[in-house]
Amino acid sequence: MSRNFLNDQTIDKLHDKCAVCGVYGVEEAAKLVYLCLFALQHRGQEGSGIASYDGKNIIFDKGQGLVNEIFKTENLERLKGTLAIGHNRYSTIGESHLKNVQPIVADINLGQIALSHNGNLVNGYELKRELVEKGAIFTSTADSEVLIHLMAHEGGKRHPLKEAIINAIGQLRGAFTIVLMTKDELIGIRDVYGFRPLVLGSLKNGFVLASETVALDLIDAKFIREISPGELIIIGKNGIESIFPFEREEPKFCVFEYIYFARPDSFIFNNFVYDVRKLFGKKLAYQDEVEADIVIPVPDSGIIAALGYAEASGIPMEMGIIRNHYIGRTFIEPTNAIRHFGVKLKLNAIKSIIKDKSIIVVDDSIVRGTTSRKIVKMLKNTGAKKVHMRISSPPVMFPCLYGIDTPNRKELIAATHSIEEIRKYLGADTLEYLKLENLFSCVNSKQFCEACFTGKYPIL
């Protein structure tokens, strides 16, 4: 039987729903967008799309799979022009996929526009219902389509583009980082809480917007600054216009970008992810003392925190679990199932490191606990004397409403089990999560959302 292990629940992580980017004012803009999407592949592997203005129309191409599987030379050659935007989409199972791959390209009363969206609208369903009642038609289930409808509703004779956008955005509640293009402008928008990141870079005479700075790095773009929460930035032939049309709020950055989503080499929310992530590991080490021979990370998610943990604890780090990076989308499993098959396709423990050792295993988070449990078993089978599980984030107890793909509350193991119960389920000798106060001692606590840990949702 063939199974989809990329999406397998056994590899249980939270997942960011998307990456967005746009390039303005440079030849072969679509090729640069393509490279940005490649650099942002970790934010979405279901499908990708690129739209560009070819001098006559906004045209686009999109497909399912990884960026470099979807786009071939001939696709990119067709996407001519100096203005383009792109989107990576995170994989969700069992839906009619292609219709939801962005950017959405539409003809509206403001002309042709294309739009990429990262985040989740809290009032998306409500807005859609109202629009549908007024006679709107929806051909996808993406929040992005709601936004285009709102813009169309506000636009035309009523308002020119900027006002239409502002009026449309003003009706949205939730998390949205948007990259939008008309035939001659590249526009970036971040909601007033700034849940999801968006950065600005410069490139020769042009500009780049992207979810993370790693996209700038790959295409030799110079990092200028992050787009601010509540900022609307319009890049056109008169340069950059930046406005803040909405009432300011205290930011609510997503702390999980630091914990897991963002690439460690990205700079977002005013810090390098690497530095914050390593600090989480250190704080975790200071939290309690445990006697152990070695610290090992769950690769790759736990590596940076494990480095911090090892440094703070003085216990040496070893790469006791090796990851196979050739893993593809689906795998064929023999009928007589192999123990811990899903985990073993990705991870393997090294006997000479593990055997007879007391081990501190560092991972970034536990969602359902199924994978962590298999890892603990694998280590015990490999001869570990003790397995001390250390998690560089607090227990995830509440689903995210702002663009992170979280399972139902009842599937979140920490929502229904005490830490001691989780420890037993995992089969670990000890289990310790990073305490919320310690997490927030590493960053400006007021500026981060804590909803997934405490249920304090900043917006409902």
Reported for 163-170, long-range contacts at CB under 8 A and 24+ positions apart, including other chains, are 164/110, 165/189, 165/232, 166/232, 166/245, 166/246, 169/232, 169/245, 169/246, 170/245, 170/246
Residue 430 vs residues 57, 291, 389, 435: alpha-carbon distances, Å: 60, 11, 6, 15
How near is the Cβ of 421 to a second copy at its closest, in Å?
29
Residues forming beta bridges with residue 380, ordered by sequence position: none
CA separation for the pair 160, 148 (Å, rounded): 14
Query: Is 446 an interacting residue with respect to a second copy (CB under 8 A)?
Result: no
Residue 214 binding a second copy, by CB under 8 A: yes
Region near a second copy per CB under 8 A, out of 61-69, 170-178, 368-376, 449-457? 61-69
Return the number of the residue (152 or 186) whose C-beta is nearest a second copy: 152
Asked whether position 335 contacts a second copy by CB under 8 A, the answer is: yes
CB of 452 to a second copy, least distance (A): 25
Read off the tokens for 249. 């709020």
**x-marked contacts with a second copy along 14-53 as a string, rule CB under 8 A:** -------------xx--xx-xx--xx-xx--x--------
> Does the footprint of a second copy cover residue 169 (CB under 8 A)?
no
Tell me whether residue 138 or residue 244 sits nearer to a second copy (CB atom). 138
Closest approach of Cβ 49 to a second copy, in Å?
11
When the beta carbons of 53 and 398 are compared against a second copy, the nearer one is 53
**Residues contacting a second copy: total by CB under 8 A:** 96
Task: Please confirm, yes or no, whether 18 is among the known catalytic residues.
Answer: yes
Residue 90 tokens read as 């995170």
Binding status of residue 315 toward a second copy by CB under 8 A: no
Largest CA distance in the chain: 75
Q: How far apart are CA 167 and CA 164, in angstroms?
A: 5
**CA pair distance 116, 111, nearest whole angstrom:** 17
Does the footprint of a second copy cover residue 326 (CB under 8 A)?
yes
Compute the least distance from the CB of residue 15 to a second copy, in Å. Answer: 15
Task: Report d(CA 332, CA 321) in Å as an integer.
Answer: 23
Query: CB of 34 within 8 A of CB of 27?
Result: no
**Residue 182 or residue 431: which is nearer to a second copy going by CB?**
182
Query: What is residue 83's DSSP assignment?
Result: E
What is the C-alpha to C-alpha distance for residues 375 and 283, in angstroms, rounded to an integer? 23
Residues 71-100 contacting a second copy, CB under 8 A:
71-73, 76, 96, 98-99
Nearer to a second copy, 361 or 412 (CB): 361
Hey, which residues between 134 and 153 contact a second copy (CB under 8 A)? Answer: 134-139, 145, 148-149, 152-153
Q: Are 406 and 452 in contact (CB under 8 A)?
A: yes
> What amino acid positions are annotated as catalytic residues?
18
